[in-house]
A and B are shown apart, each in its own frame.
Chain A
Amino acid sequence: MLKEKMSNFIEENKMDIVIVTDSFYYATDGKNEEYASDFYDYNDFGMQFENYSGVLLLRNAYEQDPYFDMYSFGNAQLYFTQTEYDSILDGIYDDLHSGNYLDGFLSFVSRTDSYIKSGPPSAMKNYYVDEKGYLKQYYRIPWLISIGISSILTLIIMIILVNKNKMVTKARQAEDYVNKDSIHITNRKDVFVGSHTSSYTSSSSSGGGGGGFSSHSGSSGGGHSSGGGRHG
């Protein structure tokens, strides 16, 4: 039943879908990512599709609370931002955690399928996948910032140029007429009134899952993106 669902997915969406479970030691989440990427590449997944497109769910049962995460390859990267990854992973969490693996995997396939069928999210509209499979952004001219900076710069320069024409000013001080030797400061009083201390703590980067998606390269060269990983 799972296999049938996955075959339909592959045919309809023109990309591979892979579910891998294993148990191996990992020190960092990056090791899982490496494993997933290598597994996808060495087993020639996505071969018959453009840019080796496909998605992969990895479950690493090494720990008591097994680690699982989702990875997308090739054009599949365009369909998922952190929001979509989170939604899928959270959605299958209960099933996987309670041992209903089949339900969890079926849920994975259907959730992934529905996101792909609804098209790339609006946040990804400026992205494309290059021939090497990397997720890239189109260059967009930053109109708002440029207009803002240019307006301020132009205003400053024009004020300077206009003031060159206006030379006449009324004198308010007499600094040219001070008799420097005559300055006698005879009264100096500095009275401490009080003090006030404030503080703030800058948060160093906290660990934990879901630190944004990014495009990395696998060992065989193709680019991929990943969700944040879950334990459970």
Chain B
Amino acid sequence: MANKETKEKTEQSLENRCPACKASISYNPKVGKWKCEYCGSEFTLEEMQKENDNASTEKKNRKEQKPEDTYDGYISYKCESCGAEIIADDQTAATFCVYCGNTAILQSKLSGKFSPDVIIPFKKEKTDATNAFKGLSKGRPLMPKGFNDSHNIEKIRGVYIPFWLYDITVSGDVVMDAKTVEKWTVGDTHYTKTNTFKVTRGGNIHFSKIPVDGSTRFANDIMNTIEPFDYKEMIPYNHAYLSGFYAEKYDEDPNVIYPEASNRALNSARIILKDDARYATKVIVSDQLEAKETERKYAMLPVWMVNVKYKNKMHIFAMNGQTGEFIGNIPLDKGRTLLYTIIIFTISMAICILISYLIFMGGN
């Protein structure tokens, strides 16, 4: 039983087994099915559910621990394949046994209020992420040589990251100072007439599934930059998709992070309303806009996290596990930056002098 003082709990883990040979099985993004590495069989979600639901029910009968809703510390769980006792931290919802590599899905992290509503399964594989990293040098002359060597990759993990998706309706008005300009000429005199208007535009605009990263462990700006995900491929959540990947549960209160979504919606609404007015110059002077949340969903979205070590500094890159958008901040090579500055300056000086000489020769 759980020892509440030390805040440890032995966790019941879910796993997915190959219906054919009972080996540990993972979701294959390229095929879109579960593929067994041992016997080569492929299975759809329905086939997996038939087999694995029974298995977990069995396990439930064997072990009687009932997990609690929230834990403060670490969870220890027993690997179903090799029996090793593994410690995982509080946020981890799915992980791998370091000894035998078996996926373990920690059910308590994904049930009750932590049960995700929807998921977008991985479409890109680890090799896609590695290749995208290797391709970073394209069009980036200021990247240090050897930075995108795959040996610099310290860790590369496919993680289902928790997101809150907000449906928001913005309604209200914006008021602008706007101007139109007319110009005309009579003889040698040039006239400019400036007309000033007070312009109001108002209405309502609906935004669908604005994503906000629900985990403090993943930087918001990185998660912003891999947007957007294609929501057409979003499906109801099922544990089975986590096989072969890591997963985290959310630790940000959705009410606390809601303003991130609402501010984005308000900013976009201002632009849309402003664009509706046709004037030469427009400046918003006041607005009465209100953002109202109409729906919220908890989603697991696929991201390949790539940790790179270069010259003893860590750099984080991320790839959208569905679209393949690969992003991160690349350090600047100081030497190359200086070299390019000098070369570009010298070439433009030469061109300027050449053009001025040609003009001079033309004049003479």
Which residues from B are CB-within-8-Å of A185? 201-203, 273, 276
> In whole angstroms, how far apart are the Cα atoms of A178 and B205 in the complex?
7
Contact of B267 among A145, A168, A173, A193 (CB under 8 A): A173
Contact of A193 among B197, B201, B349 (CB under 8 A): B197
Is A27 located at the chain interface by the 8 A CB criterion? no
Is B328 located at the chain interface by the 8 A CB criterion? yes
B residues neighboring A (CB under 8 Å): 139-143, 169, 173, 178, 188-210, 219-222, 224-225, 227-228, 261, 263-265, 267-268, 271-273, 276-277, 327-332, 337, 340-341, 344-345, 348-349, 352-353, 356-357, 360, 364
Q: Closest B-chain residue to A191, C-beta based?
A: B198
B347 CB → nearest A CB, Å: 8
Number of interface residues of A (CB under 8 A): 56
Q: Are A165 and B356 in contact (CB under 8 A)?
A: no
Given contacts A167-B327, A197-B192, A204-B188, contact A172 B267 (CB under 8 A): yes
Which residues from A are CB-within-8-Å of B190? 199-202
Among A89-97, A105-113, A136-144, the stretch that binds chain B is: A136-144
> In whole angstroms, how far apart are the Cα atoms of A207 and B351 in the complex?
39
Which residues from A are CB-within-8-Å of B224? 169-171
Which residues from B are CB-within-8-Å of A168? 219, 221-222, 225, 327-329
- Most A CB within 10 A of own CB, among B189, B261, B344: B344
Contact of A151 among B194, B329, B345 (CB under 8 A): B345
> In whole angstroms, how far apart are the Cα atoms of A183 and B267 in the complex?
15
Q: Are B191 and A197 in contact (CB under 8 A)?
A: yes
Q: Closest A-chain residue to B276, C-beta based?
A: A185
Q: A146-B349, A167-B225, A182-B205 are in contact. List 5 more A-B contacts (CB 8 A).
A: A142-B353, A164-B140, A169-B225, A171-B264, A178-B208
Among A12-20, A57-65, A152-160, the stretch that binds chain B is: A152-160
Which residues from B are CB-within-8-Å of A147? 349
Is A98 located at the chain interface by the 8 A CB criterion? no
Chain A 178-199 per-residue mask, 1 if CB under 8 angstroms from chain B, else 0: 1100111111111111111111
Is A1 located at the chain interface by the 8 A CB criterion? no
Q: Are B193 and A196 in contact (CB under 8 A)?
A: yes
Given contacts A145-B352, A146-B356, A158-B344, contact A196 B264 (CB under 8 A): no
Is A44 located at the chain interface by the 8 A CB criterion? no
B34 CB → nearest A CB, Å: 31
- Give me 12 A-to-B residue pairs in the complex whose CB atoms sit less than 8 angstroms apart, sorted by A's number: A142-B352, A146-B353, A158-B337, A165-B331, A169-B221, A178-B272, A183-B203, A185-B203, A186-B204, A188-B200, A188-B202, A190-B277
Which residues from A are CB-within-8-Å of B139? 164
4 A-B pairs with the lowest CB-CB distances in the bound complex, closest first: A187-B202, A182-B206, A171-B224, A146-B352
Chain A 70-93 per-residue mask, 1 if CB under 8 angstroms from chain B, else 0: 000000000000000000000000
A157 CB → nearest B CB, Å: 5
> In whole angstroms, how far apart are the Cα atoms of A136 and B363 in the complex?
11
